[in-house]
Amino acid sequence: MTDRSGAPVVVGVDGSPTALDAVRVAAREAAARHRPLRVVHAFIWPLYAASHGPVPAAPPDAGLRQEAEKLVREAVDEARKVSAELAVTGHVVDGAAAPVLVRESRDGALLVLGHRGLGGFADLLVGSVAVHLSARADCPVLVVRGEPRADGPVVVGVDGSALSDEAIGFAFAEAAQRGTSLVAVHAWRYPRPAGPGDIVPLVYDAEELAAEEERVLAESLAGWTERYPEVPVRHRLVAATPARALVEESTNAQLTVVGAHGRGAFRGLLLGSVSHAVLHHARSPLAIVRHRRGGDAS
Ligand SMILES: Nc1ncnc2c1ncn2[C@@H]1O[C@H](COP(=O)(O)OP(=O)(O)OP(=O)(O)O)[C@@H](O)[C@H]1O
Ligand SMILES: [Mg+2]
């Protein structure tokens, strides 16, 4: 089991303005959690085809490494502007972004990324590194969109699953730390089969169902409201698909929080369909929470 009691907040940077937004958010998170901040740039040497003859010990990089070190230095300076007391270190790590950041996430308390980077496909909503880490990181991932904002509530998606419970815990801690309220969203539409082969009734009482869904929401929040009595909580029971409801609520939020997957049928999925849709369409920074492979660390 990894001991993450002194674990840093990690932020990935690639020289893009969006990654610098991520640095400012990461610096605030690290300061609020009393953790160090680790700024990481994954640097991959220009690749050479093996057929070109003997591979030099270190390929000529035309100053690329110095560029990488410079962009990390700039990111570290940006973090120090947020908090002068913050312990910040900058690192250029050899390797491709996705595997380097997955490794970083094993010892991290939180991984912060921009929703986009330097990639060339202008119409992408979320870049490939952010998508990969949202599904595979071993710590919570915060995907940042735009400048950090201090207004609006923290929004959390609740579905009664174990992971949504972790997401609720994360969301309460964030709301408490930011001094804001929490909006707990539970979306439902039709009677759900309780298990495989279950038969859904053709006739049902909508009011009774709504009361049942409200019970799911209230029970999911019960322990947490006792633990964070200072956080005002609003219940939002919405008759819509969960992804649509969460994207809608994310518009006015300063942070939206979901579990990496819910109580859906495909438990092997690394990212559930709701989390996947919200990752692509959320209108504010999104935290994706998952069970840790190496034990608890928050
Ligand atoms: N080489 C890297 N090292 C560290 N972090 C990175 C690196 N590349 C991307 N990131 C992080 O991931 C975030 C999202 O970038 P991503 O690469 O996913 O988007 P993109 O460049 O727009 O798309 P793509 O690379 O898929 O074309 C960045 O804002 C940054 O936080
Ligand atoms: Mg990229």
CA of 285: how far to CAs of 21, 63, 176, 288, in Å? 11, 34, 17, 10
Helical ranges in 144-230 per DSSP H? 162-178, 206-227
Binding site membership of 55 for ligand 1 (Cβ less than 6 Å): no
φ, ψ of residue 201 to 5 degrees: the values are: -65, 145
Query: Which pLDDT score is estimated for 297?
Result: 39
Q: d(Cα 146, Cα 251) in Å, to the nearest integer? A: 13
Binding site membership of 41 for ligand 1 (Cβ less than 6 Å): yes
pTM: 0.89
pLDDT digits (tens, 9 = 90+) for 208-227: 778 888 898 999 999 999 99
| Residue 16 Cα: closest atom of ligand 1 | 29
Which residues, in sequence order, are CB contacts of 76 under 8 Å at separation 6+?
39, 88, 89, 90
Q: d(Cα 276, Cα 110) in Å, to the nearest integer? A: 19
pLDDT digits (tens, 9 = 90+) for 153-191: 999 999 888 888 999 999 999 999 999 999 999 998 766
> Which domains does the chain show, CATH number per domain?
9-45+62-144 (3.40.50.620), 154-289 (3.40.50.620)
Residues forming a β-bridge with 203: none
Query: Which pLDDT score is estimated for 92?
Result: 97
Binding site membership of 9 for ligand 1 (Cβ less than 6 Å): no
* Four-CA torsion 199, 204, 205, 207, nearest 10 degrees: 60
Binding site membership of 12 for ligand 1 (Cβ less than 6 Å): yes
Query: Which pLDDT score is estimated for 298?
Result: 43
Q: How far is the CA of 116 from the centre of ligand 2 (A)?
A: 7
Query: Which pLDDT score is estimated for 61?
Result: 62
Helix, strand, coil fractions of the chain, as percent rounded to 5:
40, 15, 45
Query: Which pLDDT score is estimated for 267?
Result: 60
Q: How far is the CA of 143 from the centre of ligand 2 (A)?
A: 14
Q: Which ligand is nearest to the CA of 23?
A: 1
Question: Is there a contact between 23 and 51 (Cβ–Cβ < 8 Å)?
Answer: no
Low-confidence ranges of the chain (pLDDT < 70): 1-4, 46-62, 190-195, 198, 200-204, 263-269, 293-298
Report residue 245 as tokens.
């409801």
Binding site membership of 105 for ligand 1 (Cβ less than 6 Å): no
Question: Is there a contact between 19 and 12 (Cβ–Cβ < 8 Å)?
Answer: yes
Q: How far is the CA of 116 from the centre of ligand 1 (A)?
A: 6
